[in-house]
Structure 1
């Protein structure tokens, strides 16, 4: 897409180890989230079926707690379904753009706003350009990576559908962190 150049530099030779497998993993994250959504939905359904079958003549206090439990489980299923859809969009974006080598510094948002837990990801591409991303809400958090500035990584996707793959050593798979663009890429001379 035309807007991809706003977030990523031109195509480079250096890609993550086995880039096709790393991109396919993103699809796997979406499938895993979908399975979790289905399981949460089944648990919620069983609570509601139990309420319908056994709810007549129950003490009101456990009845209300059971309804609250069912609604909480249904909400969890909705969030897991949303996560599944977001991973699918990220997978498509990375298929379109590919991966770009970069060094990434994780800047946690504390002590200013300790309750947000969404760190900024400062990306320095190999061509000297820079971009600022923000980690998305996910179980794939990046706050614990703050201790190593300039960490080797690969960035794929564009705009709201980006992924940062952090290198974790020679024998371990890179760690995927979902992100969204916060400030678009600036050229080395400040453009």
Structure 2
């Protein structure tokens, strides 16, 4: 999932580069006309715009391929639908997160259309702060729209999964980042009340578990299956109250009594 996130970032970077150098190319043509074609600045802008477009397309194709590989690697987590607890407020919050992400995507899509249309129809009139504000809105929208759509789809999928399984209370929770990187996905080892264990890994989201690393006596609930799971912590990093962290299973749930592999092997 971390590699897929890097590919998505590369694709977004390619799109931003294409927009930036395309705008510079368009502005130069409007400012200087055909006499500008063939000059050094024209060649540089055209080359960088083309390279950015190729980077974006290649990264998108690689991310889609990576996503298909991840989906083919789904595992059985054995969360019993009969034994789960219905925590309605927490479950409905997942639905609210999906809805809010959809509103965010719609807002930024509208901002992109307004800013891009204004730039296209009145570029000559834009100077200084106005030009910078419109360009900033376009650039932010390029990032925000796909990320918000992905969040909407992801939280909606987790909401449906948790509705099926309910929430399962944990006996112990261990959060760690194997390499210690600040933006590294956290690995969460969960032991349930019956002694069974499952390994989870956080996915790309603004709801993260890194701040829980090293904490003892963590209280949490787990719901969902396979790639659509959620760890519900008691408190978040900045406020008290239920804090849902999206995760995916790294392997099947280990029944009580089975020998667990060494931690180094499980995190490798």
Q: TM-score, normalised by structure 2?
A: 0.59
Deviations 1:72-96 (A, max 9, x none): 4123211111101100000000001
Task: Give the 3 Å change call, closer, same or farther, for CA 52–101 of structure 1 in structure 2.
Answer: same
CA drift of 1:8 comes to 2.1
Determine helix, strand or coil for the equivalent of 1:55.
helix
CA drift of 1:68 comes to 7.6
For residue 45 of structure 1, what is the aligned residue in structure 2?
A: 113
Structure 2: 5+ residue stretches without partners: 1-73, 260-268
Q: Once superposed, what is the RMSD of the aligned Cα atoms?
A: 2.8
Instruction: Flag the structure with larger Rg.
Output: 2
Is the contact between residue 106 and residue 149 of structure 1 (CA under 8 Å) also seen in structure 2? no
Q: TM-score, normalised by structure 1?
A: 0.81
Task: Give the 3 Å change call, closer, same or farther, for CA 129–57 of structure 1 in structure 2.
Answer: same
Superposed counterparts of 1:5-154, under 5 Å = 6-9=77-80, 11-12=82-83, 15=85, 19-56=87-124, 70-102=138-170, 103-111=172-180, 114=181, 116-154=183-221
Structure 1: 5+ residue stretches without partners: none
- Matched residues, number: 180
Between Structure 1 and Structure 2, the one with more helix by share is 2
In 2, the alpha carbon distance for the partners of 1:140 and 1:106 equals 14
Task: Give the 3 Å change call, closer, same or farther, for CA 41–152 of structure 1 in structure 2.
Answer: same
For residue 265 of structure 2, what is the aligned residue in structure 1?
A: none
